[in-house]
Chain A
Amino acid sequence: MSTHAQPTTVRGTAGPNAGHENKEVGQDRKAKTQGRWAATLILPTVIVLGIVIVYPVVNAIIMSFQQDEGLDPVTGSFVAGGFAGVANYVHWLFQQCPAPDGGTTACSPGSLGAQFWSAMGTTFFFTVVTVVLETVLGFWMAIIMARTFKGRSALRAAVLVPWAIPTAVTAKLWFFIFAFDGIANKLFGTAILWTGSEGPARTAIIIADVWKTTPFMALLILAGLQMIPAEVYEAAKVDGASAWQRFTQITLPLVKPALMVAILFRVLDALRMYDLPAIMTGGANGTTTLSILVVDQIRQGFNSAAALSTITFLVIFLVAFIFVRFLGANAVQSATGPGKGKGK
């Protein structure tokens, strides 16, 4: 953008006399008014972010230290619970539930509190397995799509279809496919109860998730692949590098920034997986993820749910931090522009 355009607009707002002033003073004031002007322009965004992000987060954290409403045994109506300290966090992390005598006791199976660690395990299991599968398959699809051949654009469009379908619809489709009388069993001539026990239920969800999100990985990786200049490959060929060497020595290192960002996005997405297990199994048979647990808890008490979502938030934050800090997923710096690659 031309720097000459800005003073005009700034002076225009500063008043008709602005143009007559000493040049140095003008520079000074320009910087000042420009700063103010910039702040004014940014303000709406800050306010919106404050309303949609800061307020709910702060409110959730405040709520997480309040006790859920309890029932007054005499009147039979609910009364506010008051300050709870860290009781809600203890409830989840140590699986302690209220006991009839007023104290706490280990949560019984069938209560949400008893499911925290298993839900955490399930969530990470799904995250690791689906992201690994999606990365490998996505890479493979991206390499095919990067080649020049007839019908390439048709293939690229076709690959996008699963990603374009809303997840809830996808989940319902796979729900019918994996029903006992569904296509999956008919096709393979099996009689598996896909949603009836842990192994098959998890497999079914992983298949559905990989089907849906591999195109997303493929497209992000494809974008990375297309940044690599063809000359590098030609030079390597001249030097006698094999196809495998070209892949490991050129493609992988050069595509890594794009790949890490893609993996980061997928990991964060997978950690809050909700719709697929919620619709396909309803969380039965070891498929309850943290998000499903949060939504279930919302119906049983907001404050406890706020504590749980704060824990989920911290977990996701930690994972994102590790990715960005130690594994070099450069989502931040490339987003801020010229600083790209500076930190290395």
Chain B
Amino acid sequence: MKARLNIAAAALIVGAIALSGCAGGTPAASSAGGGDAANGLNDRGPITYVQGKDNSNVVRPLLDKWNALHPDQIVTFKEQSDNADQQHDDLVQRFQAKATDYDVVDVDVVWTAEFAAKGWLQPLKDTMAVDTSKMLPATVKTATYKGTLYAAPQTSDGGILYYRKDLVPTPPKTWDEMMGMCSIAKANNIGCYAGQFAKYEGLTVNVAEAINTAGGTIVGEDGKPTLDTADAKTGLNNLAAAYKDGNIPTEGITYQEEQGRQAFEDGKLLFLRNWPYVYNLAKADGASTVKDTFGIAPLPGKDGPGASSLGGHNLAVSVYSKNKATAKDFLAFMTSEETEKFYATQGSLAPVLTSLYDDPALVAQLPYLPVLKTSIENAVARPVTPFYPAVTKAIQDNAYSAIKGEKSVDAALADMQNAIASAGSQ
């Protein structure tokens, strides 16, 4: 009997270890933080800036510059890992603990609504107001939740179309035109079009682009799903039909950014939807076979440029920060024209200030800027919703099945609609 008890106890412990690994976080006491938001508005002092891994070393020189000017308001840099999910979870943990050691945080455009709804971000109004009039409107929208600005756009990103100018002298303006050019790809025995169609965040970006370009939307202003429209259907159907016809090569559903870039550089693709980072690599990579034979264009649309999804990051102030006056000044410093220019030249990160896209010196260095400007001007933010993780999951799962042809486009959109509605009615 005793032995049996021991066995049960031991098995329990084994299982418990497995469980304790899973349990994360504490029940969130979600008072919207009205009190916290009013604290420290006029206080100055040392603050901490939190951002993911600084790959191209842009942050430290900027902080040195700031710290030299403000010896009494030193900014310390807290560098997170280079994995977006880990950055997100780290921020959630610190915010839930109401930690005062994260003052200014760098948030991905798709997290802004979630963090704002949780009451973790300082509304940027009244004394905390930030001037966004010179910024590209689409980027400001990613930082706005329920009509209030919660973050300052800092870097942006938009999709552009890479094409083989040796095979296609003028790039396609519309999706249908591009599909028509796929016969050229077939004649040359290469794939026609690829984006990011593996099942991950990149698929959400591409599906959102397809639906927005066709004139549809994923969620409306009220956060409710709006996928039961003919436009949304046209958008998703464009992708599904292209895959079925072979215009998107079979292996396209395993492509993330890098696999697509590789295939394009190997000369195996006629068109590629990707981010601006590919430009320099395709020009300079030793292995690139298309160095002098590729061009860039805005994404093809319905009758004009397509609606790109927006990437990039926003800067926000934690409501738990004790020195918000310093934090606000720091925000202005980090979004100033000089800083934005430095980010663009040193880190190849797209600026949010409209004027910089026409700066001749900058364009000489980053020739893709004019195309990117068109892309971002026509861009649509990915769904601005506090339930983003559930929304992106619903899009990925269903769109993936639809593109592969396992599910009809109608059924996929209906399931997407229901899953998003359900997530929003918790």
Tell me, rounded to whole Å, the shortest Cβ–Cβ distance linking A11 to chain B: 33
B261 at the interface (CB under 8 A from A): no
Tell me, rounded to whole Å, the shortest Cβ–Cβ distance linking B204 to chain A: 12
Interchain CB contact (< 8 A) of A98 among B16, B89, B262, B425 = B425
A298 to B96, CA, bound (A): 14
Q: Which among B12, B119, B397 has the highest number of chain A CB atoms within 10 Å? A: B397
A112 contacts which chain B residues (CB < 8 A)? 390, 393
A78 contacts which chain B residues (CB < 8 A)? 28, 30, 32, 117-119, 386
Interface contact A268-B23, CB-CB below 8 Å? no
Interface contact B27-A302, CB-CB below 8 Å? yes
Interchain CB contact (< 8 A) of B18 among A76, A110, A193, A316 = A316
Known contacts A268-B18, A272-B18: A321-B11 contact under CB 8 Å: yes
A86 contacts which chain B residues (CB < 8 A)? none
Interface contact A320-B24, CB-CB below 8 Å? no
Known contacts A76-B145, A324-B7, A331-B10: A282-B419 contact under CB 8 Å: no
A54 to B16, CA, bound (A): 8
A222 to B415, CA, bound (A): 52
Interface contact A77-B18, CB-CB below 8 Å? no
- Residues of chain B in range 258-279 having any CB-CB distance to chain A below 8 Å: 259, 262-263
Interface size on A, residues (CB 8 A): 80
Known contacts A284-B199, A320-B11: A53-B17 contact under CB 8 Å: yes
Residue of A whose beta carbon sits closest to that of B258: A179
A320 contacts which chain B residues (CB < 8 A)? 11, 14-15
Tell me, rounded to whole Å, the shortest Cβ–Cβ distance linking A119 to chain B: 13
Known contacts A196-B251, A316-B14: A76-B146 contact under CB 8 Å: yes
A57 at the interface (CB under 8 A from B): yes
B32 contacts which chain A residues (CB < 8 A)? 75, 77-78
A305 to B21, CA, bound (A): 12
Known contacts A77-B117, A320-B11, A332-B7: A107-B24 contact under CB 8 Å: no
Q: Which among B22, B393, B401 has the highest number of chain A CB atoms within 10 Å? A: B22
A69 at the interface (CB under 8 A from B): yes
A301 contacts which chain B residues (CB < 8 A)? 426
A102 contacts which chain B residues (CB < 8 A)? 425
Interface contact B22-A309, CB-CB below 8 Å? yes
Residue of B whose beta carbon sits closest to that of A343: B3
A232 to B219, CA, bound (A): 74
Interface contact B198-A57, CB-CB below 8 Å? no
Interface contact A196-B253, CB-CB below 8 Å? yes
Interchain CB contact (< 8 A) of B22 among A60, A195, A300, A317 = A60
B6 contacts which chain A residues (CB < 8 A)? 332-333, 336
Interface contact B22-A312, CB-CB below 8 Å? yes
A71 at the interface (CB under 8 A from B): yes
Interface contact A56-B19, CB-CB below 8 Å? yes
Interchain CB contact (< 8 A) of B27 among A80, A109, A285, A342 = A80
Interface contact A99-B198, CB-CB below 8 Å? no
Interface contact A111-B251, CB-CB below 8 Å? no
Known contacts A76-B145, A332-B7: A111-B393 contact under CB 8 Å: yes
Residue of B whose beta carbon sits closest to that of A282: B200
- Residues of chain B in range 1-58 having any CB-CB distance to chain A below 8 Å: 3-4, 6-8, 10-30, 32
A234 at the interface (CB under 8 A from B): no
B24 contacts which chain A residues (CB < 8 A)? 298, 302, 305
B394 at the interface (CB under 8 A from A): yes
A71 to B146, CA, bound (A): 13
Interface contact B19-A313, CB-CB below 8 Å? yes
Interchain CB contact (< 8 A) of B23 among A59, A105, A181, A317 = A59
A23 at the interface (CB under 8 A from B): no
- Residues of chain A in range 300-344 having any CB-CB distance to chain B below 8 Å: 300-303, 305-306, 309-310, 312-314, 316-317, 320-321, 323-325, 331-333, 335-336, 339, 342-343
Q: A60-B20, A78-B386, A111-B423 are in contact. List 17 more A-B contacts (CB 8 A).
A: A52-B20, A53-B17, A60-B22, A69-B30, A69-B118, A71-B386, A76-B145, A78-B118, A99-B425, A109-B407, A110-B395, A110-B397, A111-B422, A294-B22, A296-B393, A302-B26, A317-B11
Shortest 10 CB-CB contacts between residues of A and residues of B: A317-B15, A309-B22, A60-B23, A313-B19, A108-B418, A284-B199, A110-B394, A180-B251, A320-B11, A110-B397
Residues of B within 8 A of A (CB): 3-4, 6-8, 10-30, 32, 85, 88-89, 116-119, 145-146, 198-200, 223, 250-251, 253-254, 259, 262-263, 386-387, 389-390, 393-398, 400-401, 404, 407, 414-416, 418-419, 421-426
